[in-house]
Amino acid sequence: MKFIPWILAILFAWISLPAQAIHSDKANTSLHPSPLVIVMGEDTYPFEYLDETGTPAGILVDLWREWSIITDTKVQFVSRHWQQSLDQLEQKKADIHIGMTQNQARLKKFDFAKPFTSLNTYLYVHKSLSSKKQISDLVPYQIGIVSGSSHEATLSALEPKLSFKRYQNREQLLQAAVKGELFVFAGIEGYQRNLALEQDIAANFYSSSRILIKKINLAPAVVKGNLDLLNKINHGFELIPAKVIQQIERRWLGYHRQTSGVIIAMQNGVEP
């Protein structure tokens, strides 16, 4: 009988172990939360792209890394073709989209943080069509766009008679323009990572002949209703010093613009 207290003590300790283990797991989870998944475009140099080693890089990536540090929040970047990046956020396979422009269709699916970038969008017109000065002049021609970009909705609202030819990514669109398959494409001012492609585009689609579509803002996006995350995003970017933003601009673009935020010149064909 004298062994009964010892047996009961051992049984009690054994029964308590799972509860302690579960509590420990919960504690570890709270101490080491999963990183926020940020989905991005994969070929939008120098703003969001994969470098030669497959590592996410670019201005927007660096801005988010600063946000990660200043908010003490781990982030994980995943890259996709543009339309797939939108799908991934909508399907809740990502927490945040690195940055896009707002339109009515997207506002039905996503909530947007405050804009952190502004830029101009253009129609780039082949040199053989240099006499075309208005969007309505381009009705006879297919407009090259990247699938899922905001260009189609914006241009259709301006001129319903326009028709479009869609490409999976920016590289395919620009290659089609170089090969003579397109005489007009929608894009954003700037330059290419591929110098040879940049030269081909510049030789056939003069920047002086481009037609302004509109000025737009880019902003991070989350799935509808995630207001806590939205507030955290806004608060974090407000804490990034202007000097840090300027340093990121200089590192990637080689120049500085006096601004309270980031105003960046994007390369041809980058999709907002």
> Is the alpha carbon torsion for 258, 263, 269, 270 positive or negative?
positive
Residue 47's pLDDT is what? 78
Residue 30's pLDDT is what? 47
Kindly give the residue spans of alpha helices, DSSP state H, lying in 166-257: 170-178, 195-204, 227-239, 242-253
Residue 161's pLDDT is what? 97
Specify whether domain 119-215 bears CATH 3.40.50.2300.
no
DSSP 56: E
Domains 36-117+218-261 and 119-215 share a fold: yes
Per-residue pLDDT 10s for the chain (272 aa) are 455 554 445 444 444 444 333 333 344 444 568 999 999 988 777 778 888 899 999 889 999 999 999 999 999 999 998 899 999 999 999 999 999 999 999 999 999 999 987 778 899 999 999 999 999 999 999 999 999 888 999 999 999 999 999 999 888 999 999 999 999 999 876 556 677 888 899 899 998 999 999 988 889 999 999 999 999 999 999 999 989 988 887 888 664 343 434 433 333 334 55
Whether 16 and 71 have beta carbons less than 8 Å apart is answered as: no
Two structure tokens written together for 26: 């919960």
Hey, is 214 helix, strand or coil?
A: strand
Fold of 36-117+218-261: D-Maltodextrin-Binding Protein; domain 2 (3.40.190)
Residue 261's pLDDT is what? 41
Whether 192 and 113 have beta carbons less than 8 Å apart is answered as: no
Whether 233 and 61 have beta carbons less than 8 Å apart is answered as: no
Residue 189's pLDDT is what? 66
Whether 78 and 94 have beta carbons less than 8 Å apart is answered as: yes
Parse the chain into domains and list their residue ranges.
1-28, 36-117+218-261, 119-215
